[in-house]
Amino acid sequence: PRKLILDVDTGTDDAVAIMLAALHPDLELVACTTVNGNREIEHTTENTLRTLDHIGRGDIPVHAGLARPIARLDFPIPRAQRDPGVHFVEMPLAKATSKVQATNAVDFLIDFYRNTTDAVTLVPVGPLSNIATALSLFPKLVDYIPEVIIMGGGHAIGNVTSSAEFNIWADPEAAAMVFAAGFPNLTLVPLDATHKAVISLDQCKTLRASGKPAAEAAAIFVEKRVEGYRNYQRLDNPDAAPIHDALCIAAMIYPEVITTEDYFVDVETEGRLTVGRTVLDVNKRAKRDPNAHVAMTANTALFGNFVLDTLINN
Ligand code: BDR
Ligand code: CA
């Protein structure tokens, strides 16, 4: 199986990504690290533990990370304050019985990658605070991580401001560091792709009918997201919602689920209207080599089949 570490701010779509990664027979979820984002760190950590316990994978270690963005200490911005209704404070799952690890997320990531001989993909699907802090402590980390797949950013779409996506906007200085760090193989999965990675209310019925714990939980999360999106963002199909973070997991099994183009990507940290925007050098004005494979679109049918099949049949 392909090994991965998921850096999450769980979060309804993070929870679906966790279940896919933990259950797919060709993936091995080595650990989860948690970060401030959709909710405060206590809740994103508890939600991560609950999600793993719910599917009988409380054995997967969870390490808690940063409670704040790296540079904006007065800027805790739990997502919920901006877009109420898409993410539960606490998941409607049994309180976690498994415990968070003693080692924090940043120390864990550095120690783990320094010592492993395995190829382990790092999949950050929340604000990039943990990854940037790990890079600050140990810049050579870039040479130890063979593949990074990030959910974040948007080229034609913003979701927290007119021009920015939440994960990047929530800690723009961290994101700028990560894109400048020199990772040899970095894939960015922005909103342009994840808005095609939708699950519909009809698919929720199929998930629920299976009676599988993971599928039932996913149905609850997707329905919550559909309701939330109806209230705060316009989507083409009001009976479906994007499950952003899950697209990164789908891409590990089916690379063709995303269509990528190679670009130099930088992050705006100052703009009055554009702070947190991922800036793609589409027309090669920056005279810089590409630093990311950027997913410009995704295959909705393949994504949906992957999610349903993985959660129902494992
Ligand atoms: C991203 O922001 C979070 O709310 C979601 O979990 C996802 O990672 C989408 O903009
Ligand atoms: Ca997330």
ipTM comes to 0.99
Cα 66 to middle of ligand 2, angstroms: 14
- Per-residue pLDDT at 235: 87
Rounded Cα–Cα distance for residues 14 and 127 (Å):
12
Amino acid at 256: E
Q: What is the pLDDT of residues 262-298, one digit of tens each?
A: 999 999 999 999 999 999 999 999 999 999 999 999 9
Cα 166 to middle of ligand 1, angstroms: 6
Residue with tokens 């040479």: 143
Least confident of 93-107, 225-239, 254-268, 297-311: 225-239
Point out the ligand nearest to the CA of residue 221.
1
266 is catalytic: no
Question: Which residues have CB less than 5 Å away from ligand 2 (the ion)?
Answer: 9, 11, 14, 125-126, 245
Residue 68 and residue 75 in contact, taking contact as beta carbons nearer than 8 Å: yes
- Work out the mean pLDDT of the chain and round it to a whole number: 96
Q: pTM for the full model?
A: 0.97
Cα 282 to middle of ligand 2, angstroms: 26
Point out the ligand nearest to the CA of residue 247.
1
- Per-residue pLDDT at 92: 96
Q: In 10 A of CB 119, how many CB atoms?
A: 11
Higher pLDDT, residue 146 or 161 = 146
User: Alpha carbon 183 to chain centroid distance?
Assistant: 18
Q: Is the CB of 48 under 6 A from ligand 1?
A: no
Rounded Cα–Cα distance for residues 300 and 196 (Å):
5
**CA-derived radius of gyration, the chain:** 18
Residue 225 and residue 12 in contact, taking contact as beta carbons nearer than 8 Å: yes
Q: Is the CB of 159 under 6 A from ligand 1?
A: yes
Q: Is the CB of 44 under 6 A from ligand 1?
A: no
